[in-house]
A and B are shown apart, each in its own frame.
Chain A
Amino acid sequence: MKSRWLILALIAVAIALPWCFYDWGHHRHAGFLLSMLSQMGMMVILALSYNMLLGQAGLFSLCHATFFGIGGYATVHLLNAVGAGDVPVPMELMPLLAGLSGLALAILFGAMATKQRATAFAMITLGISELMATAALMFHHFFGGEGGVTTNRMIENSLFGLTYASGLQVYYLILAWTVLATGLMYYLTLTPLGRMANATRDNFERAQFIGYDPRMVRFLQFALSGFFAGIGGGLYAITYEIVTFDALAAPLSANALLMAYIGGTTVFGGPILGAILITLLQSGVSLLSNSWLVYVGVMFIAMVIFAPTGLAGIIKAHGPIRHSGRLGSLVVPYLRLVIPSLGLLLGFVGLVELMSFLTIGAAQGKKLVLFGGPVDVHAALPWVVSGGSLILGALWLRWEAAGFHRIWENLTAEVRR
């Protein structure tokens, strides 16, 4: 019941957000915000559809961007065809067709990949991903080579008479499809297929004994996730009006994995959280720092080691404590964690920035500005301060974490009783 209100609130915020930053003086929307929100919508679909494999079926796929990309390419070619007057397809249905193209390709590749599971599955998908990326650079007719394929989204064919000239209209189209796709994917987790995917993830042999074919379950799940990824790709093509080889290359697959995992694969909403967070980092931190991917990478590794359930999993773990009304007794232990974590974080950020500035930044001829002041990269002081704060923070945090762990264990034991 509560989560229903949360969802409605999220949708309301997503609808209202462009208007909160409306520039009344010039009568226009904040372009940066709109493009960031649009990007978020696509990434939410990508991450959620990826989680249909990783979280729900326990399949580690490395070719998810292939279906995203193919949806993008299909949409670009469709838009061009509609623009030339060859086929009449309204804009609003474009992502559906993109999804179908993703579905078709996922059926083809899924028939091969889902014969295996676990590591062998990961290897096949790696092969597929590299195969498609190499092919995309080779065949110019469909993929356009390195330059990609461009299009024009103003095709004047819309169910509601919209032109999609402004970013706002495109954003609302993306939002509508994101909500629709999310709803469908949530519905899928409730169907027998979704439940069987969980069962084959947890114990595929027992699922087999009950009489289900795990391969069929994997195949259906793979094909459907390809469908949703294709929808995301269609929205990508509509937004940027260009699809290049980046849309199906390995870095995007990796991105889908990072978003889903950091957000949390064990909770349905986890990847949404991850997609929003990573997109924020991508568009916010990447402006400030050259090395934002280091932070994402380290965050990912830390998650794999310390919190395999992801952010949403951590939040979910507080559920029983909240129900018993004991959440207040965790405030002080959390505050005690904050100070050493900040030290660790500042030291780490300082070291990374100093180091990357020696090479990449210097090549770009910028001046390093850290924590509100210019810093001389070649002086010893910033290095010593950062290193010291990193080491001290790490040791202190380790000590505090042990204490926190005790309190947490006691509390959960009490709550369980």
Chain B
Amino acid sequence: METVLISVLNGLVYGMLLFMLASGLTLIFSMMGVLNFAHASIYMLGAYLAFTVSRFVGFFPALIIAPILCGLIGAAIEIWGLRRVHHNGHIAELLFTFGLVFIIQRLVQMTWGMLPMAYRVPPSLDFPLFVLYGANFPAYRGFMLLVSAAMLLGTWLLLKKTRIGLIIQAALTHPQMVSSLGHNVPRVFTTVFAGGCLLAGLAGVIGGNYQTTEPGMADSMGPIVFVVVVFGGLGSLAGCFIASIVMGMIQTFAVVIDYSIADLLRPMGLMLTGDTLLTEVLTVPVARIGALLPFVMMVTILFFRPRGLMGTRDT
């Protein structure tokens, strides 16, 4: 029981972090048709910037400054990069963001070095929030939940209750029509791209000390975020939210389940002996298969239902 509760909470924290990353990516992807490979790189950049900024002014100002810097970087990428390759088609845009992954990764290594950073949880949040069946739930995770819930509410209000939000929503599904109505769609694109990068930066700030801030963090996070976006479906933030939470739960629950297919077969009187490829496949515990699951899910959903969970159109 206690493992389930703790795992639910951890899954929620991880899922909300994923949502913060994936929501921006979904908006960018649905509106511009650009799958931004560099999104996780911006996440990494957010963590590194927060580390550097927080050394000078402390964690909480960094929570504001680093995402804004990431948003500005995103705007610059859109204006000077993506817009220029836009007329060469979608493949060119994909290639462009793919190249950015390389450059940002190397720039980060050049600026901050190859080793993990000592980016830690701020002392004011470094205490156990409550004790659950003898296990501590750190206050920082509660803070992460709070920040992501605030971000969720903020994005929702922005999209549903403001004029720019309405235009963004319209441009999600009918960009040509919005353009015909006299709105500056490229500027909306820039805003959304910058906004998405800002959210990714925010996720980096609070995720950097939750996980580790190191040059490989973009590579480990990137594919998972893509899975979430594809799974949730294009043009649907609700689908993206559900997919994030599901993915967070799967990832945390898979780690704690220490059973394999062989354990299922045992009650049926099947005992596996020997050391062959088949026994290896059957005896791998779910905890290790957990890393495979997201990709199996992505390939399956793209194959059978390319519009994802709640998408409005095909990927």
Please give the residue numbers on chain A whose beta carbons come within 8 Å of chain B beta carbons, in ascending order: 54, 58, 60, 112, 115-116, 118-120, 122-124, 126-128, 130-131, 134-135, 138-142, 250, 254, 257, 261, 291, 293-294, 296-298, 300-301, 304-305, 308, 352, 355-356, 359-360, 363
> Could you say which of B102, B276, B291, B302 contacts A300, with CB atoms under 8 Å apart?
B102
With the chains together, A300 CA to B102 CA distance in Å?
A: 10
Please name all residues of chain B whose beta carbon is closer than 8 Å to the beta carbon of A134 when the two chains form the complex. 291-292, 295
Given A120-B314, A131-B299: A254 in contact with B110 (beta carbons within 8 A) = no
Q: Which of A141, A257, A296, A355 has the most CB atoms of chain B within a 10 A radius of its CB?
A: A141
- B223 in contact (CB, < 8 A): yes
Please name all residues of chain B whose beta carbon is closer than 8 Å to the beta carbon of A360 when the two chains form the complex. 109-110, 113-114
A356's nearest neighbour on chain B, judged by CB, is B110
Please give the residue numbers on chain B whose beta carbons come within 8 Å of chain A beta carbons, in ascending order: 33, 35, 81, 84-85, 88, 90-92, 94-96, 98-100, 102-103, 106-107, 109-115, 219, 223, 226-227, 230, 276-277, 280-281, 284, 288-289, 291-292, 295-296, 298-299, 302-303, 306, 314-315
> Could you say which of A127, A254, A257 contacts B295, with CB atoms under 8 Å apart?
A127
> Could you say which of A115, A126, A142, A301 contacts B223, with CB atoms under 8 Å apart?
A126
> Could you say which of B85, B103, B112 contacts A305, with CB atoms under 8 Å apart?
B85
Please name all residues of chain B whose beta carbon is closer than 8 Å to the beta carbon of A300 when the two chains form the complex. 95, 99, 102
CB pair A305 B96 closer than 8 Å: yes
> Could you say which of A126, A135, A355 contacts B111, with CB atoms under 8 Å apart?
A355
> Could you say which of B107, B111, B302 contacts A124, with CB atoms under 8 Å apart?
B302
Please name all residues of chain A whose beta carbon is closer than 8 Å to the beta carbon of B114 when the two chains form the complex. 359-360, 363
**6 A-B contact pairs sorted by A residue (CB < 8 Å):** A116-B306, A123-B35, A127-B227, A297-B102, A304-B88, A359-B109
B88's nearest neighbour on chain A, judged by CB, is A308
Please name all residues of chain A whose beta carbon is closer than 8 Å to the beta carbon of B102 when the two chains form the complex. 254, 293, 296-297, 300
How many CB-defined contacts (below 8 Å) exist between A and B?
129
Given A120-B306, A123-B230, A355-B110: A141 in contact with B90 (beta carbons within 8 A) = no
Q: Which of A123, A139, A355 has the most CB atoms of chain B within a 10 A radius of its CB?
A: A123
Given A120-B315, A123-B302, A127-B298: A359 in contact with B113 (beta carbons within 8 A) = yes
Task: Give, as a whole number of angstroms, the nearest-CB distance from A95 to chain B.
Answer: 24
Please name all residues of chain A whose beta carbon is closer than 8 Å to the beta carbon of B281 when the two chains form the complex. 139
With the chains together, A254 CA to B99 CA distance in Å?
A: 9
CB pair B103 A140 closer than 8 Å: no
CB pair B98 A131 closer than 8 Å: no
With the chains together, A138 CA to B260 CA distance in Å?
A: 14
CB pair B298 A123 closer than 8 Å: yes
CB pair A297 B96 closer than 8 Å: no
CB pair A139 B280 closer than 8 Å: yes
With the chains together, A355 CA to B94 CA distance in Å?
A: 28
Please name all residues of chain A whose beta carbon is closer than 8 Å to the beta carbon of B284 when the two chains form the complex. 138-139
With the chains together, A391 CA to B261 CA distance in Å?
A: 62
With the chains together, A306 CA to B2 CA distance in Å?
A: 58
CB pair B91 A118 closer than 8 Å: yes
Please name all residues of chain A whose beta carbon is closer than 8 Å to the beta carbon of B289 when the two chains form the complex. 138
A308's nearest neighbour on chain B, judged by CB, is B88
CB pair B296 A131 closer than 8 Å: yes
With the chains together, A287 CA to B234 CA distance in Å?
A: 45
CB pair B292 A127 closer than 8 Å: no
CB pair B106 A291 closer than 8 Å: yes
CB pair A304 B277 closer than 8 Å: no
Q: A123-B35, A123-B315 are in contact. List 10 more A-B contacts (CB 8 A).
A: A60-B94, A116-B315, A122-B94, A134-B291, A139-B277, A141-B280, A254-B102, A293-B102, A359-B111, A359-B114
